[in-house]
Each structure stands twice: as structure tokens, then as C-alpha cells.
Amino acid sequence: MKRSVFLLAAVMATIGVFSQKATTMREAFADKFLIGTALNTRQVVSRDKALQALIKDNFSAVVAENCMKAEVLQPQEGVFNFKDGDRLCDLAEKNGQVVTGHCLIWHSQAPRWFFTDKDGKTVSREVLVQRMKDHIYKVVRHYKGRVKGWDVVNEAIEGNGDFRKSRFYKIIGPDFIRLAFQFAHEADPEAELYYNDYGMDSPGKREGVVRLIKDLKAHGCRIDAVGMQSHVGFNTPLDEYEKSMDTFIAAGVKVMVTELDLSVLPWPKGNYGAAVETNFEYQKKIDPYKDGLPKAKAKEADDFYIKLFDIYLRHSKDLTRVTFWGVTDGDSWKNGFPVRGRTDYPLAFDRKMKPKGFVKTIVEMAQSDKYN
Ligand code: 9MR
């Protein structure tokens, strides 16, 4: 009798009944960091069961690709449109996923009215500070308890470390950043607050961001994490990228990878405005994988992603989230930027919703003793 129980247990263990091996990113990274995706509204409301299962099974966190930006949330002064953001939160709550708010203050996709009065003249510092405050208060309070943390300010620093000369900067001065963090904290003292930017592998940007972290902390502002967007390419220097991650952590914040994607396409040089439409040869050269990604390129992308996740897993004590900027390749903004109408392959799932080769590898890596 005992022998047959033992045999049964051995058989069950062999077929995996007792084994705890995770098969999805969500399970595999559960005790490491949140693993997220950006969702557009079409995906949020989609009735495609396979897509909904993919979103739920693979990701523990979501962020709105566009519908929580100021232009959408407050298209006219005092007129708020929370519908799509609310739907994203509904889905996340149904799926047990953490929501990040993206983003409160950004020079791009800020509504025009923010900066001008009724006669079209540029507003004063006082007016813009008040508008910023009203926007942040209203939005952060609306999502209180539903959004874990906010990208408070997005992309305010140039590659050389200087402040971007945005309209917020020009009208208010560099303290617009501090004020935004202060207002967000007043509106929801529980919410985590992040500074988010791209091109974080550049030494100049790294130094500028560290100066900003120190300034915010010196003024008693809450800042929980720096978001490294991570729109990377094969030529992104990973040593510099990792150095930035280490430097931000040493400055006393957590880090998050907030908008991960890997473009496999050549970055066009010069202005392709008209040439793209008119010169077939030229267009072909910068859109080489329209009919599919050659195996060697797919392997190069897999290897690059594996190197990235090696960095992420080695930093999992201080890295709280890794979010892909989209679900499947077909939905990525990269197909339209910096040239419209190309075919890129930047994400974890292909156009048929199949996981890329690297996904299996990083799921295994997450569970290996190497990163414990
Ligand atoms: O992916 C977003 C795309 O659909 C929008 O058209 C674009 C508008 O500027 O914003 C994209 O998302 C950006 C994000 O909000 C901030 N970092 C850069 C992202 C890619 O441009």
C-alpha cells in the first residue's frame, strides 16, 4: 500500500502536479517586481477573449497608453472626461492588477488652453500654477484608491541634463516640477509619486535626473521612484543604462522600467517627410521586415531582451515594476514612429498574440537560483 502511494506521488511529481513552476510572466515575476503593460482603450473594452486572457494572465500591472493624459482628461478648462480612465481601472480591478497613472504634467499632450487666456495670450505664472494645481487635485482625487502611483512629471529634462524649455518651464520656472509633486501629494498623500523620462542611458540626462531627485528631496517633496521609459534599440548602451539605474537607486529612490519596447528597425537619418511616400527604394530600406522578421533578427531581439531582464532581475530589490509599452507588436506606437506605416516588432507578443522566444527564457530566469 505504502509503495503504491509512493509510486503515485512519484508519477504526479514527474508530470508536474506537485511542481510549482510558473509559466507566465505574471506568475514568474510575482515575488520580484510588477510586470505591466500599457493598454489603449480599444484593448480595455475589447471582447476578444483571447486578448483579455492574455492581458490578465501575463501582467500584474497596467497603465493607460493615452487616456489619462491632460489633453484627454481635461480637454477644456473645468470639463473633465474620466470615462476611459475609469474603464481601465474597472478592468484592472477585475483582473487584480495595479494601475499606474500616466501622466499629470507633460509638455506634450497638454491641452492648449492650459497656457493661454481667452484672448490667446500666454498666461501668467500665477494662472498656470493654479491650472496645474486644479488639474492635479481633480485628477488625483478622482483616482484616489484606484491608482497606486502617478507619473507626476514626464520628460522635463534634456539629454544634456538641462531643463527642457517647455511652456511649463518658461512660464513658471524650474520649480513647476516641485510644485507638481507637492500638489499631487496634497491631493492623495497615499499615492506614490514618480518622475518619468526617456533616454536614461545618456550620462547628461542621468546627472540632470539625479540633481532633480536631490532637489525634490531637499525641499521635502515625496518622490518614490524614477521611471526609466526604456524605448530601446540594439545600439542602446546597456552598461550606461544599468549605471543610470544604479545611480538613481543610490540617490535614494526606487526605479521602474515604465515603457519598455525594443525597436528592431533602423533609425532613419535626416528628414523623410515626403521621401517616405514617394521613394519606394528608400522606404524599403527603412522598413525591411514588412513581410516578417528573419530568424536571425528575432534571435537578436530575444538575446537583447534576455540581457535587459538579467539587469532587471539583478536589481529586483530596488526595481519595483517593468512595464511593456503595449501588448502585441501590431498595436505598438513604434509602427508609426519615427516613420509612419512601418512594421516593427518591439514587444513581448507578436501580431498573432504569441509570446516571443525570450518570454519563456525570462520566465525561467525569474525562477532560477541565480537571482535569489
Ligand atoms: O504610445 C503613445 C502614443 O499612442 C501617442 O500618440 C503618443 C503621443 O505623444 O504618446 C505615446 O506614449 C508616449 C508616452 O506617453 C510618454 N513617453 C513616450 C511614449 C511614446 O511616444
pLDDT (tens digit, 9 = 90+) per residue, 242-251? 999 999 999 9
**pLDDT at 365 > cutoff 80:** yes
Centroid of chain to Cα 243: 19
- For 293, the 3-state DSSP assignment is coil
Band (pLDDT 50/70/90 cuts) for residue 8 is low
* Mean of the per-residue pLDDT values of the chain: 93
**pLDDT at 330 > cutoff 60:** yes
**pLDDT at 2 > cutoff 80:** no
**65 CB near ligand 1 (under 6 Å):** yes
Write the residue with the smallest CA distance to atom 4 of ligand 1: 333
**229 CB near ligand 1 (under 6 Å):** yes
- Domains of the chain by range and CATH? 33-371 (3.20.20.80)
Q: What value does the mean pLDDT take over residues 21-49?
A: 97
- The CA 226 to ligand 1 mean position distance, Å, reads 18
Q: What value does the mean pLDDT take over residues 342-371?
A: 97
User: Could you say which DSSP state residue 116 is in?
Assistant: B
What pLDDT does 284 receive? 75
**pLDDT at 128 > cutoff 70:** yes
Which mutation among 259, 262, 331 tests ligand 1's pocket best, with the greatest number of atoms within 8 A of CB? 259
The CA-atom distances, in angstroms, between 184 and each of 187, 189, 225, 244 are 5, 8, 14, 26
What pLDDT does 280 receive? 42
Least confident range of 98-102, 124-128, 275-279: 275-279
What pLDDT does 340 receive? 87
Write the residue with the smallest CA distance to atom 14 of ligand 1: 65
Least confident range of 4-8, 59-63, 238-242, 244-248: 4-8
Contact 161, 212 (CB under 8 A): no
- The CA 103 to ligand 1 mean position distance, Å, reads 11
Q: Which three cell numbers stand for residue 13?
A: 511529481
221: CB partners within 8 A, 6+ apart:
178, 181, 182, 185, 193
Check the CA dihedral 174-179-180-181 and report its sign.
Answer: positive
d(Cα 227, Cα 211) in Å, to the nearest integer?
15
**124 CB near ligand 1 (under 6 Å):** no
Which mutation among 39, 40, 66, 69 tests ligand 1's pocket best, with the greatest number of atoms within 8 A of CB? 66
Q: Which residues of 193-221 are buried (b: 16+ CB within 10 A; e: fewer)?
A: bbbbbbbbbbeebbebbbebbeebeeeeb
**pLDDT at 189 > cutoff 90:** yes
- Which residue pairs, CB below 8 angstroms and at least 24 apart, start in 275-280? 276/339, 276/340, 276/341
**pLDDT at 314 > cutoff 70:** yes
Contact 171, 115 (CB under 8 A): yes
**pLDDT at 338 > cutoff 90:** no
Band (pLDDT 50/70/90 cuts) for residue 274 is very low
**272 CB near ligand 1 (under 6 Å):** no
pLDDT tens readout for residues 66-107: 999 999 999 999 999 999 999 999 999 999 999 999 999 999
Q: Which helix (H) or strand (E) holds 241?
A: helix 238-250
The CA-atom distances, in angstroms, between 252 and each of 157, 208, 274 are 19, 15, 47
Q: What value does the mean pLDDT take over residues 120-136?
A: 97
d(Cα 245, Cα 226) in Å, to the nearest integer?
9
DSSP per position, 243-271: HHHHHHHHTT-EEEEEEEEEE-SPPPPS-
d(Cα 150, Cα 181) in Å, to the nearest integer?
10
What pLDDT does 172 receive? 98
Stronger pLDDT, 13 or 167, i.e. the higher one: 167
Which mutation among 43, 65, 109 tests ligand 1's pocket best, with the greatest number of atoms within 8 A of CB? 65
Band (pLDDT 50/70/90 cuts) for residue 281 is very low
Band (pLDDT 50/70/90 cuts) for residue 285 is confident
What pLDDT does 36 receive? 98
Q: Which helix (H) or strand (E) holds 85?
A: helix 83-95
d(Cα 312, Cα 284) in Å, to the nearest integer?
35
Q: What is the pTM of this model?
A: 0.93
**pLDDT at 279 > cutoff 90:** no
Q: Which three cell numbers stand for residue 126?
A: 500665477
Q: Which of these, 262, 266, 263, lies nearest to 286 by C-alpha position?
A: 266
What pLDDT does 272 receive? 45
**pLDDT at 13 > cutoff 60:** no
Least confident range of 9-13, 139-143, 153-157, 327-331: 9-13
Least confident range of 24-33, 274-283, 311-320: 274-283
What pLDDT does 42 receive? 98
